[in-house]
Amino acid sequence: MNNSVDYRPEPNQAYAVVFGSVMVLGLPLNAVSLWILLRRHSLKSPNAIFMVNLAISDLLLVISLPMRVYLYATGTWPLSSKACTCITMLFRNNIRSSSIFITLISVDRLLAVVYPLRSRHLRTASNTWKSVALVWLFVLMVNIPEGLAYARKLNNSSESTCFEFRRQQQWPRYFQLVLVVTLLTVNLVSTALVSCSLQRHLNDSAKVNNKVNVMLIFAMNLVMFTICFLPVSVGVLTIKRHEITPLVCLASVNCCLDPLLYYFSLDAFWKKKEDVDLAREQ
């Protein structure tokens, strides 16, 4: 059987421009953010550890975009069906891993603001790294069977559809939506609890150094869920596969928005590691 994907859509310059713009912005933003996080922030802070893994997730998405740009610019696919499967799974990996890491950042901020003393034994570097390992293991366990099923459909179909969301078994389609809605609910609850706590301590400047930045974290998280993750998760169930590409473009924009979280989430983002360590527990 021929392993190449004979994918010949009409070239769509608009999609090529969108994915190209995301790639041009997302690569330097996330690469520089990752460098700053590793060089200037101690990886003993739960927030910094989650940020590093979020940046890695976004960089994995960015490296898959050049072939999307080529496909939509030329209407041809020069690589094998295996390459198509791997690149498609990198995109789906990003939606899942990014949404989970963003939610963990929200929960960490919730514990730090609302339960600072009671959560101290939970918010340790050891527990954070265990959580990160479980996230990547979970994403891998979900994507392996999904990727194998996607590859079989590419090889067995007379109509090759690289990068498009083909009709698949019900559980992966509903699983994606259930996961995103569940995580969005966690973010909504966390936002409400933190907002109430900040209102009660409105005049207690020692409680939270920068209340505006804290709420901006949660606002950015909700924006990314409602604009980037939720539409494409719903669209997989309700929209024809040839019409879902605009939502895929929208979902890819999250890798350009995530660096804003690093700025708002980490006090003194540009300061040296020694200075940050002094205020790490805030």
Q: CA 39, CA 202: separation in Å to the nearest integer?
A: 34
Q: CA 201, CA 2: separation in Å to the nearest integer?
A: 65
Q: Give the confidence band of 282 by pLDDT, cuts at 50, 70, 90.
A: very low
Q: Give the confidence band of 157 by pLDDT, cuts at 50, 70, 90.
A: low
Tell me the two tokens of residue 139.
């994403």
Asked if the model's pLDDT at residue 235 lies above 90, the reply is no
Please report, to the nearest 10 degrees, the dihedral formed by the alpha carbons of residues 188, 246, 178, 265 taken in order: -30
pLDDT in tens, 65-99: 998 888 888 877 777 778 888 888 888 888 899 99
Mean pLDDT of the chain: 80
- DSSP classification of residue 101: H
Q: Give the confidence band of 30 by pLDDT, cuts at 50, 70, 90.
A: very high
Q: Map out the domains of the chain with their CATH numbers.
A: 13-278 (1.20.1070.10)
Q: CA 90, CA 61: separation in Å to the nearest integer?
A: 6
Burial of residue 85 (number of CB atoms within 10 Å: 0-12, 13-18, 19+) = buried
Does residue 81 contact residue 151 with C-beta atoms inside 8 Å?
A: yes
Residue 23, pLDDT score:
93
Residue 49, pLDDT score:
92
The residue with tokens 């998280």 is: 221
Of the listed ranges 9-18, 25-34, 200-209, the least confidently predicted one is 200-209
Beta partners for residue 4, in sequence order: 80
Asked if the model's pLDDT at residue 5 lies above 70, the reply is no
pLDDT in tens, 181-225: 999 999 999 999 988 888 776 555 444 556 777 888 888 899 999
Q: CA 193, CA 197: separation in Å to the nearest integer?
A: 6
Identify the helix (H) or strand (E) that includes residue 244. none
